[in-house]
Amino acid sequence: MVEPSLDPARVTRSSRSSFLPAFFFLSRPKREALESVYAFCRAVDDVADAPGEQGDREAALEAFEQELDRVFGGEPLTPLGRGLARAAALGVAKEDLQAVIQGCRMDLTGRRYRTFRDLEEYCDKVASSVGRMCVAVFGAAGPAARKYAGATGTALQLTNILRDVGEDYRRGRVYLPEEDLEAFGVERAWLAPGRERTAAEREALESLFRFQVERARRFYASSDALLPREARRRLLPGEIMKAVYRSLLARIERAGADLPERRIRAGWGAKAWAVLGTWLRIGLGPGPRTKPGEGEP
């Protein structure tokens, strides 16, 4: 079972996350703080997917909660806790870290989402909370940056939900709102990987997935509109994450009804292009004048 004793840098190095390109644009203290946030989120998420009894997984989550109490009490015991203490010094809030654990508990109970509003609550806990932690580390705290983080986190999580629709079904989870399945005449069983689908089933699935892709795109557009101009360069890592995931969403759309059969990833070429394009747009683009060193992520 996963415990809060892992080393953040090792977790980051071993990961193939689409978030990683953004880490390279941070100063070392901020990179280490973000590694700790990432390692925490990754470890908590792994609890939900770990084999074993639910009681054991609940105990693992309680161990993370206890270490958070020690972090914010000034007495962390683990490498992860000490890393989170550095993140907290940069403005990462305890309630956002706790929200990630709350979202994991929703996974443990196998909760279904009747409406999109219900799903938004989950997205806020497991993704928008992460966005808020990231912008704090980037040095762009404030109401405008938090709104941007909320929209960005939801856009990324909706992309994740689509990417993992087949894998999640195997684990007994369907995150797509039940009202959407009903609207497009899709049965949950049609999401099963390896299923032989009729032409009518494929057509219904393609319509459902197109609808979900467009919903995610609206959140990306909202994030674009909410990007605070005065913090554009500080938020360059966040914009890189968003660009990588947008390229992932385009691959998801092309998969159509075959989406449950595939594990779609953003290749290194797509990641490199997203990094370069975003850096040219944000890093070299116009922005507010700052004193030397002020704009460094």
pLDDT tens-digit map of 234-262: 898 889 889 999 999 999 999 999 999 98
Confidence label for 277 from pLDDT (cuts 50, 70 and 90): confident
Q: What percent of the chain has pLDDT over 90?
A: 63
Cβ neighbour number for residue 95 with a 10 Å cutoff: 9
If one compares 78 and 275, the residue with the highest pLDDT of the two is 78
- Cα 73 off chain centre by: 27
Among 142, 165, 148, which Cα is nearest to 264's?
165
pLDDT at 7: 55
Dihedral angle over CA of 21, 25, 31, 35, nearest 10: -10
Question: CA triplet 90, 130, 144: central angle to 5 degrees?
Answer: 70
Is 23 or 237 the better-scoring residue by pLDDT? Answer: 237
Question: Cα Rg for the chain, rounded, in angstroms?
Answer: 19
User: For residue 294, what pLDDT is reported?
Assistant: 34
The candidate with the shortest Cα–Cα distance to 36, out of 112, 73, 74, 89, is 89
Mean pLDDT of 176-196: 97
Residue-wise pLDDT tens digits, 88-106: 999 999 999 999 999 999 9
Q: What is the pLDDT of residue 183?
A: 98
The burial of 292, by beta-carbon neighbours within 10 Å (0-12 exposed, 13-18 middle, 19 or more buried), is given as exposed
Mean pLDDT (the chain) is: 86
Q: Please name the fold of domain 1-109.
A: Farnesyl Diphosphate Synthase (1.10.600)
What span, in angstroms and rounded, lies between the C-alpha atoms of 93 and 149?
14
Domain 111-283 CATH assignment equals 1.10.600.10: yes
List CB contacts of 33: < 8 A, sequence separation 6 or more: 83, 86, 87, 89, 90, 92, 137
In whole angstroms, give the CA distance from residue 153 to residue 219: 9
- Domain locations along the chain: 1-109, 111-283
Which position has the higher pLDDT, 292 or 232?
232
pLDDT digits (tens, 9 = 90+) for 90-147: 999 999 999 999 999 999 887 899 999 999 999 999 999 999 999 999 999 789 999 9
Sign of the CA dihedral running 164, 262, 203, 250? positive
Q: Given a cut of 50, is residue 290 above it in pLDDT?
A: no
Assess whether pLDDT exceeds 80 at residue 22.
no
How confident is the model over 41-56, as pLDDT tens digits? 999 998 988 877 888 8
The band of 267, judged by pLDDT with boundaries at 50, 70 and 90, is low
Point out the least confidently predicted range of 11-15, 39-43, 67-71, 79-83: 11-15
- 69 φ/ψ angles, rounded to the nearest 5 degrees: -60, -40
Distance CA 176, CA 113 (A): 7
Assess whether the region 1-109 and the region 111-283 belong to the same CATH fold: yes
Provide the pLDDT for residue 85: 96
pLDDT reported for residue 111: 82
pLDDT for residue 270 is more than 80: no
pLDDT at residue number 237: 85
Instruction: Decide which of 228 and 297 is more confident.
Output: 228
Residue at token pair 């203290």: 29
Q: What is the pTM of this model?
A: 0.86
- The Cα–Cα gap between 214 and 235 comes to 24
**Which among 277, 287, 285, 250 is positioned nearest to 265, based on CA atoms?**
250
Residue 16 reports pLDDT greater than 70: no
Enumerate residues 6+ apart whose C-beta is below 8 A from 269: none
The terminus-to-terminus CA distance of the chain in angstroms comes to 35
